[in-house]
Chains A and B, each alone.
Chain A
Amino acid sequence: MKRPILAIKRLIKTRPGGSGYRLMVSNLVIREGDRIALVGQSGSGKSTLLDMMAMVLMPDKMGKGGQFAWTGEGDYLDIWESWNKGDEAAREKIRRTHLGYVLQSGGLFPFLNVRDNILLSAWLKKDPRGKDLDRAVIRLVTILGIGHLLKKLPGNVSVGERQRVAVARAIIHNPSLILADEPTASLDPPTAQKVFELLLELSQGTALVLATHDEERAKKFGFKIHRIIVEDEGAGKGIKAMLFNDGRTQRY
């Protein structure tokens, strides 16, 4: 069995403002190489869950026997405990070392050129590859078709090209888990298709969690669908959002 890298059990996250919304995750374990798509209606909590996986947002409660931990090889971290201890450095280290991100509009830095934007993740990880790292960049940008853009600033390239740069940046440092939040939402369909294909091709062997509205495409590319179902409990009890795996066939 593949090694688990992130375990979330019996987690509850509420939203401020007294709406009564609470996201409940009973059991979600992400293993090496997993392809998971988080689907659900707007406002259901896909991004909230993704933020928690990125360790930038914390749950409010853990149920009895709950767990929120990074269990990847070499770097175990009890995220919940580190949050309560205020140990931000430990979470920052996991983010630098093991996570990659593909954000909706690329998330590129306007003051760095394309090459440096890509290399940033590797620099932050203190990637020791040296010249091999340059070769890895060349290989990636060649596959992504953005080799001619290396010296350009993100403001001078198209939206589709920016997303390809974001894909390269998410992959260059060989993370264990890539989090992608609607990575193709701002692209036209053909470009979205191409970027999606490239992301999958280049992230082989890496766990990929995708927050998306495009359930069909996710299914087509073999993603396990995890759906957030929102239920209004009525009578002022609030809204309960629960994560279920593929098509509510199994309740955690």
Chain B
Amino acid sequence: MMALLVPLLTVMGLRDGIIGTLTERLVNDPQNLEIVPLGIRDYPEYMFTRLAQLPDVAYVVPDTRIIAYTISLSRENYPNLQASAKSTTAGDPILATISPEMQIQGPQLTEIFISKPVAENFQVKEGDIIVATITRNVVGHVESEKVNLTVKGIFPLHVLNEKIILASLDFLKMVSDYQEDYAVPEMGWEGTRTRDASNPILYQSFRLYAKDMDSVERLRLALNVQGIDVITNAKRIADVKRLDRAFTIVFLTLLLVVGIGALASAISGSFDLVGKNRKSLACLALLGVPRGRLQLFSTVQAAISGFFSAIGACGLFFLVGNILNNVFTGEIENLPSICSLSITKLLISVVVVVVFMILASLCAYSALSDIEPSEGMRDV
């Protein structure tokens, strides 16, 4: 029984280890759930209100006009830098890659989150100030405003590896308005135009996060219907899902084959057990032990045997799993363990084996009912 259980547990462990970790990573990595539109177009504000209400959407934030995308940054004694600017608000999943608190808080008006290359350029840390210079061209002459932006957080390199800042949506809307010659009284910036209800702001792009992997494809289709082509990680998700399906099929096939083998082995073992203990069982019957008790004796013996086989198999699985994990440490990118099973699954395996053994012992009842107490009179 153990010879069948150990490979089965190892296959289960590999499936949970490799596929489980990859799937979990895909789910937990917000970039994999990110959906961005191809190209630019004008999106009215209400569209984002509607998008946010879709059940497949976890978060959506609009991006302002493209000219607000690039901001000139400076800090005394450090070279100036042109960085892309993206908008963000509280609840943005990408902020969780810095810390969960950052995701909850989001940025204040003049707070920014910066990528590692930006931080390295200015040698800044959280709380330091970077100066943003915003320029506009008004009828042939260039005007500019400077704003002190406080670094609230720095993204890990694997999340953002380009020169990017994430600023508050309200701030970037103001930048956009300034660049279009609107007055921005909150910042003391002058302009010849005034933003009001008759000329609402139009956004040119957005960042959207799906609720889960399955939502990504549904959202892609929904947006396509509205004429919005989007970029998703659908291919990567599909690859992992395909791998997951393939492993599941292999695993289920193995489970079926091994399960049938294990049941056959358990049934045959139960008959062997009755055969081996035939004289003892007959002698017990001779001494007056009721037949029902003999059957119970046989079942309990099978259950105990199954329990210890399963425990032994779990022990060997830990050994094999540890060897595999040690051998492949570092071989597969950032994979903490390639072969692992939760305690719950191991406990379920033990219970299933015990149930198998009990069922098998029930099959051997016919052999048990053949035993006559008179056989006990002769010999043991």
| Complex Cα–Cα for A57 and B374 (A) | 7
| Complex Cα–Cα for A249 and B328 (A) | 91
| Complex Cα–Cα for A57 and B286 (A) | 11
Is the C-beta of A105 less than 8 angstroms from some C-beta in chain B? yes
Of the stretches A12-20, A85-93, A198-206, A230-238, the one at the interface is A85-93
Does the CB pair A108–B288 fall under 8 Å?
A: no
Does the CB pair B379–A103 fall under 8 Å?
A: yes
Contact with B along A101-130 (1 / 0, CB 8 A): 101111111110000000011001000000
Does the CB pair B379–A95 fall under 8 Å?
A: no
Of the stretches A48-56, A60-68, A140-148, A218-226, the one at the interface is A48-56
| Complex Cα–Cα for A179 and B302 (A) | 33
Q: How many residues of A contact B (CB 8 A)?
A: 29
Does the CB pair A104–B286 fall under 8 Å?
A: no
Does the CB pair A107–B290 fall under 8 Å?
A: no
A46 to chain B, nearest CB (A): 11
Is the C-beta of B17 less than 8 angstroms from some C-beta in chain A? no
Q: Report B-chain residues with C-beta under 8 Å of the C-beta of A107.
A: 283, 286, 376, 379-380
> Which residues 324-380 of B sit at the A interface, judged by CB distance below 8 A?
372-374, 376-380
Q: Report B-chain residues with C-beta under 8 Å of the C-beta of A121.
A: 287
Does the CB pair A97–B287 fall under 8 Å?
A: no
Q: Report B-chain residues with C-beta under 8 Å of the C-beta of A106.
A: 380
With contacts A51-B374, A181-B377 known, is A88 near B291, CB below 8 A? yes
With contacts A109-B280, A110-B280, A111-B280 known, is A103 near B380, CB below 8 A? yes
Does the CB pair A124–B287 fall under 8 Å?
A: yes
Is the C-beta of B289 less than 8 angstroms from some C-beta in chain A? yes
Does the CB pair B280–A56 fall under 8 Å?
A: no
| Complex Cα–Cα for A101 and B380 (A) | 13
B344 to chain A, nearest CB (A): 35
Q: Report A-chain residues with C-beta under 8 Å of the C-beta of B379.
A: 103-105, 107
Q: Report A-chain residues with C-beta under 8 Å of the C-beta of B372.
A: 56
Is the C-beta of A96 less than 8 angstroms from some C-beta in chain B? yes
Is the C-beta of A26 less than 8 angstroms from some C-beta in chain B? no
| Complex Cα–Cα for A181 and B285 (A) | 17
Q: Report A-chain residues with C-beta under 8 Å of the C-beta of B287.
A: 95-96, 101, 120-121, 124
Does the CB pair A54–B373 fall under 8 Å?
A: yes
Is the C-beta of A191 less than 8 angstroms from some C-beta in chain B? no
A170 to chain B, nearest CB (A): 10
| Complex Cα–Cα for A241 and B264 (A) | 48
With contacts A95-B288, A124-B287 known, is A108 near B373, CB below 8 A? no
Query: Mind listing 9 A-B residue pairs with CB under 8 Å?
Result: A54-B374, A56-B286, A93-B288, A95-B373, A96-B288, A99-B288, A109-B283, A109-B380, A124-B288
Known: A54-B286, A99-B288, A103-B376. 11 other contacts (CB 8 A): A47-B377, A56-B286, A92-B288, A93-B288, A95-B288, A95-B373, A105-B380, A107-B376, A107-B379, A107-B380, A124-B289
